[in-house]
Structure 1
């Protein structure tokens, strides 16, 4: 099994391997170009995102700066995704994000982990586990999502939460560690915030 295959198989590997770092460097060059774009350069940003990402759907918007270990090479975005400032994708293996998901500012999604045993960290050993985020998820400001987590569709993750375990669909989850607070309910369909009623008229 090659080092690149180990990256995506949850196996331990040396993340400082020279060949890997050369390939990673090419990805980071494109990421640098993306973050250096002007607000008016929407077409240039869209073109770069299509080059950077493993997959990216239509009508996605990422507010620079965007940070990613592999520049988005292992990130799979659906359509209609919005990411606010300072989204960090530790994309040493695959991150999957469903359509219409929203990221608040300063969100971190991590796939990389390091062994507890210090001798292995000393020789820069690492392992990676994929992250799956469902369709129509809202991830609040400052959320941290750790390796291997799955978040179900339509779920809201409250600001500042640290998501260490899977979160089901159709719930509001908050806290450190993040726990389900409640299911999304009929009140949510009538009121968008406390006693403020939804009225599109």
Structure 2
């Protein structure tokens, strides 16, 4: 059984690849809540944390058009995704009403790639880089556009931070969702979320 904020699934779906093992969204248990992770061949990675989410297993979910359309976040309501077996239910809760939609899902039979190890190295670098460091890099503009467009569905502002030779970190203000775009003036660098450290150490 799995339950989580469906909008995080819809955002993660923007950063999956076309071929295995990058086609799926990996949803795994955290110490409290769930991790939601996707990547396109390591060129870009989306990592989210839902502190209110629950799961008793790791699921590699193959995103479908129907699922993503139902799961996509809207600013006037909260949407929750529940998965039992191969059946998903998306509940849209508004102030006075709620509605549910049932969708069949597919799971990937291929193990999700290891993101924790390279992420842990990136975090070590962030920890040793001065907070006022100014770095430059060349990034795929399509990934950056996708990241900003996706995160704008839940917030109107993001923080961007990069370091020499490493990923551009695009972080939504709650700290619960981060997009890393692999390989420009000083801004305060947000703290690395504790759940991201936990995932990297898992």
Output the TM-score relative to the length of structure 2.
0.21
Output the TM-score relative to the length of structure 1.
0.21
The structure having more radius of gyration, on CA atoms, is 1
